[in-house]
Amino acid sequence: MWAGRSEGLLDSCADDFNSSIKFDKRMYAQDIRGSVCHAAMLGRCGIISPEEAQLIINTLGEILSDLDEGKLTIDPLAEDIHMFVEAELTKRIGDTGKRLHTARSRNDQVALDIRLYLNDKTKEIKALLCELIRAIVKVAKANKDAIMPGYTHLQRAQPITFGHHLMAYVSMLMRDIGRIDDAQMRMMDECPLGSCALAGTTYDTDRNMTASLLGFSRPCENSLDGVSDRDFAIELTAAFSTVMMHLSRFSEEIILWSSWEFKFIELDDAYATGSSIMPQKKNPDMAELARGKTARVYGDLMTLLTMLKGLPLAYNKDMQEDKEAIFDALDTLIMTLKVFIPMVATMKPLRENMYRAAQRGFINATDCADYLVKKGLPFRSAYKISGQLVAYCIQNSKTLEELTLDEFKSMSELFDTDVYDAISLVNATNSRTSYGGTSISSVERQIERAERFIASFELDEGAEE
For ligand ARG, the binding residues (CB under 6 A) are: 20, 24, 80, 106-107, 110, 315, 317, 319-320
Please identify, using beta-carbon distances, which residue of 317 and 380 lies nearer to ligand ARG.
317
Alpha helices by DSSP H, listed for 183-230, are 207-213, 223-228
The one catalytic residue in 6, 153, 276, 434 is: 153
Nearer to ligand ARG (CB atom), residue 197 or residue 256? 197
CB of 332 to ligand ARG, least distance (A): 20
The answer to whether residue 101 is catalytic is no
How far is Cα 303 from Cα 320, in angstroms, rounded to an integer?
Answer: 12
Look up residue 273 and give its DSSP letter.
Answer: B
Nearer CB in complex with ligand ARG: 102/273: 102
DSSP three-state, residue 265: strand
How do strand 348-349 and strand 265-266 relate by DSSP bridges? antiparallel
Considering the complex, state which of residue 110 and residue 343 has its C-beta at the smaller distance from ligand ARG. Answer: 110
Asked whether 40 and 57 are in contact (CB, 8 A), the reply is yes
Rounded to whole angstroms, the Cα distance separating 42 from 458 reads 37
Considering the complex, state which of residue 3 and residue 278 has its C-beta at the smaller distance from ligand ARG: 3
**CA 392/CA 386 separation, integer angstroms:** 10
Active-site residue flag, 153: yes
- Residue whose CB is less far from ligand ARG, 105 or 336: 105
Catalytic residue among 65, 259, 275, 381: 275
Q: What are phi and psi of 143, to 5 degrees?
A: -125, 30
Q: What is the DSSP string of 377-427?
A: --HHHHHHHHHHHHHHHHHTT--GGGS-HHHHHHH-TT--TTHHHHTSHHH
Say if residues 165 and 192 touch (Cβ distance below 8 Å). no
* Cα distance between the two ends of the chain: 39
Pairwise CA distance, residues 429 & 436, whole Å: 12
In whole angstroms, the minimum distance from the beta carbon of 306 to ligand ARG comes to 17
Phi, psi for 66 (deg, rounded to 5): -65, -40
In whole angstroms, the minimum distance from the beta carbon of 62 to ligand ARG comes to: 24
Evaluate the omega torsion of the peptide bond into residue 314 and state whether it is cis, within 30 degrees of 0.
yes
DSSP 2-14: -BTTB-SPPPHHH
Rounded CA-CA distance 301/102 in Å is 34
CB closer to ligand ARG, 160 vs 319: 319
As measured in angstroms, the least distance from the Cβ of 110 to ligand ARG is 4
Report the interhelical angle of 322-346 vs 231-257 (nearest 10°).
30
Cα(151)–Cα(260) distance, rounded to whole angstroms?
Answer: 18
At closest approach, how far in Å is the CB of 2 from ligand ARG? Answer: 11
Which is nearer to ligand ARG, 52 or 113 (by Cβ)? 113
Least distance to ligand ARG, CB of residue 24, Å: 6
Q: Tell me the Cα Rg of the chain.
A: 30
> How far apart are alpha carbons 38 and 44 in whole angstroms?
10
Which residues belong to the active site?
A: 153, 275
